[in-house]
Chain A
Amino acid sequence: MIKNFKPAVAAAAVSLAMLSQTAAAADQYFPIPSYRVGAYGANGQAFYGGFIDYLNYVNLKEKGVNGVQMTWEECETEYNNAKGIECYERLKGKAKDSAGPIHTMSTGISYALIDKSAQDKLPLAMMGYGRTDAVDGSVFPYAFPLVTTYQMQASAIVKFIKEKVGGNLAGKKIVYLYHDSAYGKEAIIAMEAEASLNKFSLVQIPVAHPGNEQNAQWLRIRQEKPDYVVFWGWGVMNQTALKSAQKVGFPREKMIGSWWTGSEEDVIPAGDAAKGFMAATWNVAGKQVPVIADIEKVVYGANKGNLQDKAKIGTVLYNRGVSAAVLSVEAIRKGQEKYGKGKALNGEQMRWALENLNITDARLKQIGATDLLPEIKTSCDNHEGSGKVKIQQWDGAKWVPVSGWIEGNKGLIHPLFQASAKQYAKEKGITPRDCSKEK
């Protein structure tokens, strides 16, 4: 009896396993190396909360994309490069036949995965972080610095300041205060190019990690008497800068930060010192965006929300997570148009889809994301697709947009990416694709 029973159980187990594999193949799988604990855990909670809530929203609202359900698996990286690689290796096995773009929300982890993901043919999304010369898709086919990059952002900030001072920056002085790391240094090349073009004086002042002491830097800024401070901070450096500006009496209305200085988590700890501070962003905050309000209703109404703290819904980073998921899901729709509706996309197909995005304002309106993020049109030689940011200002309680979408100087910045990508291709022995032959 037992002898007969064993093979029967084994056969049933094999059948079940086959069934579950078949079911898995019909789903669109997202490997998510996320972080919710550690030094930057608060940022990760909001971003990945928004990202997963939108995937759930698509599943609940329209039963997936043409019937293909979104599935995902998270792995905690703690914003640590080594753990990021470990997570990637652990998750990639399941992404063989069905792979959504990988969002690490970490420049360090993205850098570490650029070559690996290309070898494994898994697309790496780097929205507002990561290796920016990957805009040139002829050299980086699997890396996507979507929406905008640090350099285009810096250029857009300069454009905003130029407008503020009456259209002429000649003779003005701008201090570039930056986190002394790869992230902080990324925008220097753009600031220098803009300074040379617009004839303003640029003073570069680095801040050592973690940036919880900036006394000397701000005393120097007081000496320099700049017209504006462009500020590339991260983590505790942001609050310290705002408090230090208050200490030396520098007006916060003359400080404009990168998008990693412009979340609620960045300004609330600085209290009143943050009031008036401006920062760039590629997504707006608030629940006035229809899709954000609808996520709260549909996903949290069904008790399937990802956030423990619902107060984060509508914050800058939550909406950024939703924006990242919107682009990912729109890529799936695009890919299904080519590779078959109702079918999950593999890494190569997803790469094609990300390279052929065309999300217009009309489409954003259709999905309830009007003005949540700018229009995007990607191609082989432009993995960025937009290059636009808004400037928002902290009024003491919330972020308020104070500009429309501003595009950086593409003619000035994109050649810098192409030159850098060309150099990378030379070092790595990569033969760039001919983008004119890509469709």
Chain B
Amino acid sequence: MEFFFEVLIGGLLSGVMYALVALGFVLIYKASGVFNFAQGAMVYLAALSVVGIMEWGAPLWLAVILAFAVMTAFGIGTEKFVLRKLVNQPPIALFMATIGLTFFIEGLAPMIFGSDPRALDIGIVDEPIPYILENWNMVISKFDLVAAGVASVLVATLALFFQYTRIGRALRAVADDHQAALSIGIPLQHIWAIVWGVAGFVALVAGMMWGARNGVQFALTFTALKALPVLILGGFTSVPGAIVGGLIIGASEKLAEIYIPPVMQDLFGGNFGGIEGWFPYVLALLFLLVRPEGLFGEKHIDRV
């Protein structure tokens, strides 16, 4: 039972890391109704900016500020050169634009900062907490707990921002209908620039946490793969949904990885395992059948 709880808690903490990436998707989707394919690449760009700027001699705090400036400039540039031309176009056109953006970032970022995998030390050691290890014989990492704290603060801030600020309400209006929002005087261009900037900030936080955990390298773009089932579960438009979805996916995939393969081996023989790559997608697929809008997503009721 002790082992079960160790796996469960470890999974929940991993899920928080997925939620950090999923948040960026939610932000863009809420503001434009578009699935931002480039979010994984943005995580890579942000983390690479931090280590790249540090290699030029800047301390961590300055590198983070400058990387945030890079992400903000990127957000404004995206609005000006990509999205502005696509106002009121079908969502698929915007989606395709974000695919192009992905390849652009994946080519440009290593060109500027180099493609060598690098370490990112943010001063938090990824080691078990001795007290928990000694008293409960469970491995709970300090780093994972800090990541959980960061994600909680981020989620709370963003939820309040969307719910209670003018810009937050404007964002939701824009997501519902670009043209209608424009007609009542909502400055669409500013709104998009702001939301892409905030998504850049979320990518920076996610990039730093994932980069400190596994190193800063091209594989950071793959973090997006972990965020997709989280979004399906939590709902594409819900900030709290991202974190709840993350927790469910993280815990279930770890428990599945531990407990399903032995059962499969007993039943069919052979060597099973490595199922956490596809298990979250199967779970998300099953969830889609029951609740297509996700746990916290907005339900669309169309008049026929």
- Chain A partners chain B: yes
Known: A223-B3, A248-B128, A265-B116. A216 touches B218 (CB 8 A): no
B114-A309 in contact (CB<8A): yes
**B96-138 to A contact mask, C-beta < 8 Å, 1/0:** 0000000000110010001111110100001110000100000
**B124-156 to A contact mask, C-beta < 8 Å, 1/0:** 001110000100000101010000000000000
B226: Cβ under 8 A from any A Cβ = yes
A188, A206, A209: most-surrounded residue (chain B CB, <10 A): A206
Alpha-carbon gap, A303 to B119, bound state (A): 31
B139-A247 in contact (CB<8A): yes
Minimal beta-carbon separation of A102 from chain B (angstroms): 24
The residues of B that contact A207 with a CB separation of less than 8 Å are 274
The residues of A that contact B217 with a CB separation of less than 8 Å are 42, 235-236, 239, 269
- Partner of A215 from the list B110, B115, B254 (CB cut-off 8 Å) is B254
Minimal beta-carbon separation of A351 from chain B (angstroms): 35
B275: Cβ under 8 A from any A Cβ = yes
A268-B118 in contact (CB<8A): yes
Minimal beta-carbon separation of A44 from chain B (angstroms): 9
Known: A240-B214, A249-B128, A249-B139. A216 touches B254 (CB 8 A): yes
Minimal beta-carbon separation of B247 from chain A (angstroms): 14
Closest to B142 in A: A247
B215, B221, B258: most-surrounded residue (chain A CB, <10 A): B215
Minimal beta-carbon separation of A248 from chain B (angstroms): 5
Known: A42-B117, A247-B127. A37 touches B10 (CB 8 A): no
A213: Cβ under 8 A from any B Cβ = yes
A239-B117 in contact (CB<8A): yes
Q: Interface residue count for B (Cβ, 8 Å)?
A: 46
A-B contact count (CB 8 A): 122
The residues of B that contact A293 with a CB separation of less than 8 Å are none
B277-A209 in contact (CB<8A): yes
Alpha-carbon gap, A246 to B141, bound state (A): 10
The residues of B that contact A40 with a CB separation of less than 8 Å are 218
B264: Cβ under 8 A from any A Cβ = no
**B273-294 to A contact mask, C-beta < 8 Å, 1/0:** 1111110000000000000000
The residues of B that contact A208 with a CB separation of less than 8 Å are 274-278
Alpha-carbon gap, A205 to B121, bound state (A): 29
The residues of A that contact B222 with a CB separation of less than 8 Å are 210, 212, 236
- Partner of B258 from the list A219, A247, A269 (CB cut-off 8 Å) is A219
Known: A37-B115, A42-B117, A222-B139. A212 touches B128 (CB 8 A): no
A340: Cβ under 8 A from any B Cβ = no
Q: Interface residues of A: mostly helix, strand, loop or mixed? A: helix
A270-B213 in contact (CB<8A): no
Minimal beta-carbon separation of A230 from chain B (angstroms): 15
A220: Cβ under 8 A from any B Cβ = yes
B257-A217 in contact (CB<8A): yes
Minimal beta-carbon separation of B111 from chain A (angstroms): 9
**B255-271 to A contact mask, C-beta < 8 Å, 1/0:** 00110000000000001
Q: Interface residue count for A (Cβ, 8 Å)?
A: 42
Alpha-carbon gap, A39 to B7, bound state (A): 30
Alpha-carbon gap, A188 to B274, bound state (A): 15
Alpha-carbon gap, A210 to B225, bound state (A): 10
Alpha-carbon gap, A270 to B213, bound state (A): 8
A213-B273 in contact (CB<8A): no
A41-B7 in contact (CB<8A): no
Minimal beta-carbon separation of A394 from chain B (angstroms): 13
- Partner of B117 from the list A205, A209, A268 (CB cut-off 8 Å) is A268
The residues of B that contact A222 with a CB separation of less than 8 Å are 139
Minimal beta-carbon separation of A307 from chain B (angstroms): 12
Known: A212-B219, A213-B276, A269-B215. A248 touches B115 (CB 8 A): no
A42-B115 in contact (CB<8A): yes
Known: A180-B274, A236-B222, A240-B214. A270 touches B119 (CB 8 A): yes
Interface residues of A in 247-281 (CB under 8 A from B): 247-249, 265-266, 268-271, 273
A206-B273 in contact (CB<8A): yes
Closest to B273 in A: A206
Alpha-carbon gap, A286 to B115, bound state (A): 22
A383: Cβ under 8 A from any B Cβ = no
B218-A220 in contact (CB<8A): no
B72: Cβ under 8 A from any A Cβ = no
A248-B126 in contact (CB<8A): no
Task: Return 23 A-B CB contacts under 8 Å, by A number.
Answer: A38-B106, A206-B274, A208-B274, A208-B278, A210-B222, A212-B210, A213-B276, A216-B10, A216-B11, A216-B257, A216-B276, A219-B7, A219-B258, A223-B3, A236-B117, A247-B127, A247-B128, A248-B128, A265-B116, A265-B117, A271-B119, A271-B121, A273-B126
* 8 nearest CB pairs, A to B: A269-B215, A208-B277, A180-B274, A206-B274, A236-B219, A216-B257, A206-B273, A208-B274
